[in-house]
Chains A and B, each alone.
Chain A
């Protein structure tokens, strides 16, 4: 199943980007990746994107700065943004929503939860898929 929607994954950790890519694969969406907010803005200048999943703590430009920049730009004012972070403090949650995040998710998340939320913002149906089970001996 191929859905013609694109998700931009913004995280300085290649492992997290691969994890998100893997989590979203069964939705059939296309993903593009950026290592920080500045790289994300470069991509958004030339590509149409339907959803952004962004980390909070990143070098050069963090997630909050990126969201503020998007909300100040007519083209991306309503682009859905999920902020995914290990920072679970209320201050950070408030900061994220004030900046214009649509959803604040804390790590560790699960592929299913990421898929479910991404599908909701993309207005597509998330296929049921079991989470990683314990390996069989």
Chain B
């Protein structure tokens, strides 16, 4: 297909021909072709839009970026979202245009600018996003907060901590969540300062953010928080369980270990945790080495969720919960290959290896 035929078919062919033409036109990258592809991006047919988008990505220069920016003002959400997605991929070809967009009088454009900057993954975008933290509109500021977290920009920690301490609950949440994505000691320290003074309703996002950081520096403050706020124990131990169990145990006193064990038992009893969190709690429980009410483990051993069962079997063995040996034998007799090794190891711990089920 030659250039002229492809242009003609893109403008007036059947949807199939338009789609094919949109793909073929990538061989020519003059302005007329670019304009035709930008037009095809506004087609009601998804297949044509996708083909045009693929070709525009291949071209991907500053001229493409310049032609995509006006589409963000389209009244059709599908068109502005296609443009936004393409700009995320191509913005590096013309970063100045994106910075200009972040100063647009229309706040929707400034939100788009923040969203696109965040998704470029380019740390150079942190500075213009920091500027947007001073925007008069709360949604623009929130988009900038989210973007700085997404970029993992350590220079924004001080600003995000200030936002997380004050302001509307939506933006406070975004700032805490952002700090959880900036992997630096400063961000951990900021989260720990916030934890010390957090209102009860922001405790959960703070603990989630700390759990994502997986910093051993948060172990002692989390244990202190557990002593200070036992009613929130279930949430706090979930954050502790995200950390290496051996590190937690090495920093915990005997009294701490008893309190953590109690809180884990309660969290597991509540049954509101997903399988990964339940398994992490069980791993920590096993490492703490303090026996628990067997009923807690019993329910998890028969839960049918493999990852939870495996962790519960390991915990039963490590804790020496001998009263669970009959159940372990019963599980062993079911011959589940995914549980076999764990059961064998647990029974060895319990001194039950080789014994037949009574």
Contact = CB atoms under 8 A, between A and B. Distances in A.
Interface string B30-66: 0000000000000000000000000000000000000
Contacts of B198: 135
29 contacts: A2-B272, A15-B149, A15-B173, A15-B178, A18-B177, A18-B205, A19-B170, A19-B174, A19-B177, A22-B204, A22-B205, A57-B77, A58-B81, A59-B84, A60-B85, A62-B78, A63-B77, A107-B139, A108-B139, A108-B170, A108-B171, A109-B170, A111-B169, A111-B170, A131-B169, A131-B201, A135-B165, A135-B166, A135-B194
Contacts of B82: 59
A14 B201 CA distance: 20
Candidate in A19, A95, A132 with the most chain B CB atoms within 10 angstroms? A132
Contacts of A75: none
The 10 A-B residue pairs with the shortest CB-CB distance, nearest first, are A132-B169, A108-B170, A62-B77, A59-B85, A135-B197, A86-B139, A133-B199, A15-B177, A15-B146, A135-B165
Interface of A: 2, 13, 15-16, 18-19, 22, 25, 56-60, 62-65, 86-87, 89, 91-92, 95, 107-111, 129-137
Contacts of A87: 108
Contacts of A63: 77
Contacts of B174: 15, 19
Contacts of A16: 146
A110 B168 contact: yes
Contacts, number: 93
B259 interface: no
Contact of B169 (A18, A65, A95, A110): A110
Contacts of B168: 108, 110
B77 A107 contact: no
B238 to A, nearest CB: 13
Contact of A95 (B77, B80, B197, B199): B77
B204 A136 contact: no
B142 A64 contact: no
Interface of B: 75, 77-78, 80-82, 84-85, 108, 111, 138-139, 142-143, 146, 149-150, 165-166, 168-174, 177-178, 194, 197-202, 204-205, 208, 272
Candidate in A57, A60, A64, A89 with the most chain B CB atoms within 10 angstroms? A57
A86 to B, nearest CB: 4
A15 B165 CA distance: 18
Nearest to B209: A18
A58 B197 CA distance: 36
Contacts of A92: 77
A57 B208 contact: no
Contacts of A15: 146, 149-150, 173-174, 177-178
Nearest to B139: A86
Contacts of A18: 173, 177, 205, 208
Given A15-B177, A132-B172, A86 B78 contact: no
Nearest to B140: A86
B201 A59 contact: no
A6 to B, nearest CB: 14
Contact of A132 (B78, B138, B202): B202
Given A86-B111, A107-B142, A108-B170, A137 B81 contact: no
Contacts of B150: 15
A57 B197 CA distance: 35
